[in-house]
Chains A and B, each alone.
Chain A
Amino acid sequence: MRKSFAFRISPTVTIQGLSIIAFIFAWEGISRSGLIFKDLVPPFFTVLRQITILLLSHDFWGHLKISLYEIGMGFLLAALIGVSLGLFLGVRLFWGEVFEPIILYLAATPKIIFFPVCIMLFGLDAGSKVAIGALSGFFPIVISILTGARELNPIYLKVARSFKASPFMTYFKVYFPAILRHLFSGLRLGLGVTVIGTFLGEIKLSRGGLGFMAINFYNQFDLPSMYGIIIVIFALAGLVNALMGIILATFSRYRHTLTT
């Protein structure tokens, strides 16, 4: 590494810092230059101001609660169904082989196109958002378990059988710990896509939640607020992801006690 400044800031951080500044300048520049119709890209600090106003408003926290509820329930459903189905298909090798390709191919489809079915089945409010969130998150979770199950050392199973372990014991004491690593990454990914699916559902048709706020601002042509809420949503998604990471890392420590 070349020696740089007196404060010994690494070149990496320098570049990152300069990039952020450049980005803000570019934003302000585009906004004020008249290149694009001025209302379309509001000045950076206007957007910042709107974010502050948003976070201080009473409405925002109500909508935040709705979004968090939908994401939470959706992820819970995805995890429950995904893990159960994943374990079943992982253990019953035959059925696993039958269904895995189907699951893999369905996983590639953009889930949001199923949203109208969710609306018709579960209504206009949180139900349809929970459903699309669960549908989105289900696939990474179930696939991760299938992958984990496939990598499972058959010796573990032989050992379990030689101990005359019941199916339940086999599931719990042998499979579960062994696939935990895959499960954790699957849960992480699953939460990520559940978040996306839920917000997209809110944007498409809802009357509450942060996604609803975003599209509402769009319809009202309140673009500074729209940019603002989108930034807030990104921050929230990042936070949720980071939180999940911490929770999983904590559980990861216990994994070792289970498998050794």
Chain B
Amino acid sequence: MEQRFWGKIAAFGFLFLFISETLLAQELKTVRVTVGQRGNWDTTMAFVTGEKLGFFAQEGIKLDIFFTRGGAETLQPVSTGNADFGWANGTFGVLGAYEKGARIKIVSANYTGSDAFWYVKADSPYKNFKDLAGKKVGFSSPGSSTHLVLLRLAEITQTKVEAVPIGGIPENYTAVMTGQIAAGWSVPPQRLAESKQGTIRIVARGFDYPELEKVTLRVNIGNADFLKKNLGLAKAFFRAYKRAMDYNYAHLKEVLPEFAKMNKTPLEIAEEALKFFPPKALALSPVRGLDYQVEKALEFGFLKKKLDRKQLEDLVDLSYLPQ
């Protein structure tokens, strides 16, 4: 008698769960995110985990990710409302866009410090950054985060280098190997394999310089109109994201193979790359060094006028982050 009763309850329970899941699934709201540099630890892996383990779905969110080549490509769609969030934007670009009237807000920090490193050809005479005095050193484009880091490195080590805007990671590699420049930049896990093989030598790593940790070079932005109309959704989005990020760091053994596969590198290289991404660098808040970057943005022509207090307070809105 009892069995049948509990059986009915159980059946009812399962039916209820099934129906509610289906209903919930239809209730998923799409959140569009542009992400710079597919495969990077700080831009991609949390989304991958969050999708795979259903963190976003549980918050009622369906992710629609558009990978870009970074920089302004990530920023533009958010400004015009073609995307809701933009991940890993150079702060300069964000400041400039805001000044021109883009309806965007900085919703979190993306990377504080620098994950970049500079390398030289193995058979060259340069052993460390100071050896590059007077030599050509590559970065991506004027005003980019690599530009800023390179200049900071030069300041910190008191080394005057000739900074050349070579472009992306592949271009820098070609330029170094063909002798056009003495040193080029990269972000792990790219070029780590060559370093291990001994064809190139790393002369400076961003994370070796605590000075650089004073500046948040990459931020995550959201479209202001989207945020205004979807407060709850934005908060849910960040809850899921933070959960995924924390999960990644707690379950490295599980996540690293996926990371390695995405970047077409062997597992040991992926593990090596992780050293460049300590959890504190990826902290979603605070956004550091904004005043310093406003000054530099002015210097490079990304800003026409210094942004005042009121504008900065309007621009930065970390209220969507989980406390």
Contact = CB atoms under 8 A, between A and B. Distances in A.
| A contacting B, Cβ–Cβ less than 8 Å | yes
B82 A123 contact: yes
B80 A120 contact: yes
Interface SS, A side: loop
A28 interface: no
A119 B173 CA distance: 31
Contacts, number: 35
A222 B67 CA distance: 18
Interface string A193-235: 0000000000001010000000100111110000000000000
Contacts of B77: 119, 124
A224 B173 CA distance: 16
B173 A124 contact: no
A37 interface: yes
Contacts of A125: 66
A40 interface: yes
A120 B77 CA distance: 8
A219 B82 contact: no
B67 A207 contact: yes
A259 B190 CA distance: 64
Contact of B73 (A39, A205, A220): A205
Interface in A33-50: 37, 39-40
Interface residues of B, number: 20
A221 B173 contact: yes
Contacts of A220: 170, 264
Given A205-B68, A207-B67, A37 B83 contact: no
Nearest to B69: A219
B37 to A, nearest CB: 9
A219 B168 contact: yes
Interface string A116-127: 000110011100
Contacts of B67: 207
Contacts of B173: 221
B169 A124 contact: no
Given A37-B177, A205-B73, A207-B67, A219 B170 contact: yes
A124 B190 CA distance: 27
B263 to A, nearest CB: 8
Contact of A218 (B76, B82, B170, B264): B170
Contact of A222 (B66, B69, B168, B264): B264
Contacts of B66: 124-125, 207
B169 A119 contact: no
Contact of A37 (B82, B178, B190): B178
Interface centre among B170, B174, B190 (most CB of A within 10 A): B170
A220 B190 CA distance: 9
Contacts of B264: 220, 222
Interface centre among A40, A215, A218, A219 (most CB of B within 10 A): A219
A21 to B, nearest CB: 30
Contacts of A37: 174, 177-178
Contacts of A39: 174, 177
Contacts of B80: 120
A125 to B, nearest CB: 8
B88 to A, nearest CB: 15
A236 B157 CA distance: 53
Interface in B143-171: 168-170
B21 to A, nearest CB: 28
A221 B82 contact: no
Contacts of B73: 205
Contacts of A120: 80, 82
A39 B169 CA distance: 14
A125 B83 CA distance: 11
A133 to B, nearest CB: 19
Interface string B171-182: 001100110000
A210 B264 CA distance: 20
B269 to A, nearest CB: 14
Contacts of A123: 82
A37 B179 CA distance: 10
Contacts of A218: 170
Contacts of B69: 215, 219
Interface string B49-79: 0000000000000000011110001001100
Interface string A123-161: 111000000000000000000000000000000000000
The 8 closest A-B pairs by CB, nearest first: A221-B170, A37-B178, A37-B177, A207-B66, A124-B66, A120-B80, A123-B82, A124-B82
Given A218-B170, A222-B264, 9 more contacts: A120-B80, A120-B82, A124-B82, A124-B83, A205-B68, A215-B69, A219-B169, A221-B170, A221-B173
16 contacts: A37-B177, A39-B174, A119-B77, A119-B82, A120-B80, A123-B82, A124-B34, A124-B82, A205-B68, A207-B66, A218-B170, A219-B168, A219-B169, A219-B170, A221-B169, A222-B264
